[in-house]
Amino acid sequence: MDLALATGIQALSGIATLLLISLGLAIVFGMMRVINLAHGEFLMLGAYSAVLAVQAGVNLWVAMLVVAPLCVGLLGVLVERLVIRRLYGRMVDTMLATWGLSLGLVGAVTMVFGNTVAGFSAPLGSVQIGAYSTSGYGLFLIAATAVLLAAVWAVLRFTQAGLIARGTMQNAGMAAALGVPTERVYALSFAAGAAVSGLAGALIAPMSGVVPTMGTAYIARSFITVITGGAAMLAGTSSAAGLLGSVNTLGTFATTPVLGEVLMLVVAIVLLRLLPQGITGRFFRRSL
């Protein structure tokens, strides 16, 4: 019983991590249809922001929950205004531009900080479950992901800003005709996605370590999760993260981490073959 509970918590932690790293991309790609290949670098910059803030004496929780999303969100505004704004509707150009941005960010951070591992230890220690123990920070990560998902859903579902953002993404011309400042909406939406990515990077930093190339470990999994989820941004990403995260965690327990990743990719390929429009192309169609 204790082993089953500890294993279940580990599986939930893996699902939460996958959902957390994918949520910012779900906003930028799932809602705005912008293929942001620099998403992994936004995660990396969030992690470095938290590390530098902690080294400067800022409280650990403030560094992770406030400083990191604020810094990356401000960068998102700058990137949208200077790069993305001129490329809406041009997917290939967007891919090339964000890929170049990704390489530039990795190179710049490597020049400044070197290619050594930085970071800080995970707070909260361990939690004893009978004869087994699990990470207290893993439990926090599960709770934080649930709160963040609920907050994003509530903003998009119940606030005027969320309604305007969804309406603008669906029909920018009509929104502009009704007096909505569409350029500002696009900028703020991209910044929100970047801020969520920065928050995710800071939250996973204690578990993964922080290096300039850490984004490459997450970008593929993020895109696989969002694409497998389908058109419904939150319901699709959540359901895909639940399925693929479970497969990855169970595969890792049964075999090795590498085979767990391979099994997750195989399941995603089979799922997209059976459901070309993703999970929400057939299920949860009316969900957000």
* 195: its two tokens: 């801020």
Whether residue 138 lies inside any domain: the answer is yes
What's the number of domains the chain is made of? 1
- Most confidently modeled of 171-180, 187-196, 213-222? 187-196
- Exposure string (b/e) for 159-172, b if CB count within 10 Å is 16 or more? eeebebbbbbbeeb
Whether residue 238 lies inside any domain: the answer is no
pLDDT at 66: 93
Q: Is the pLDDT of residue 238 over 80?
A: yes
What phi and psi values does residue 210 have, to the nearest 5 degrees? -120, 120
Whether residue 57 lies inside any domain: the answer is yes
Q: Which of 7-11, 18-22, 140-144, 185-189 has the lowest mean pLDDT?
A: 7-11
Whether residue 34 lies inside any domain: the answer is yes
Q: Is the pLDDT of residue 1 over 80?
A: no
- Most confidently modeled of 83-92, 145-154, 259-268? 145-154
State pTM to two decimals.
0.90
Whether residue 276 lies inside any domain: the answer is no
CB 172, CB 42: distance < 8 Å: no
Range of the domain at 166: 2-229
The amino acid that residue 279 corresponds to is I
Query: Which residues touch 39 (CB under 8 Å, ≥6 apart)?
Result: 24, 25, 28, 197, 215, 218, 219, 222, 223
Whether residue 256 lies inside any domain: the answer is no
- Judged by DSSP in three states, 210 sits in strand
**What band does 191 get if pLDDT is binned at 50, 70 and 90?**
very high
For 122, 139, 199, 257, the CA distances from 14, given in Å and listed in that order, are 16, 11, 17, 12
Whether residue 55 lies inside any domain: the answer is yes
Whether residue 126 lies inside any domain: the answer is yes
**Average pLDDT for 16-30:** 88
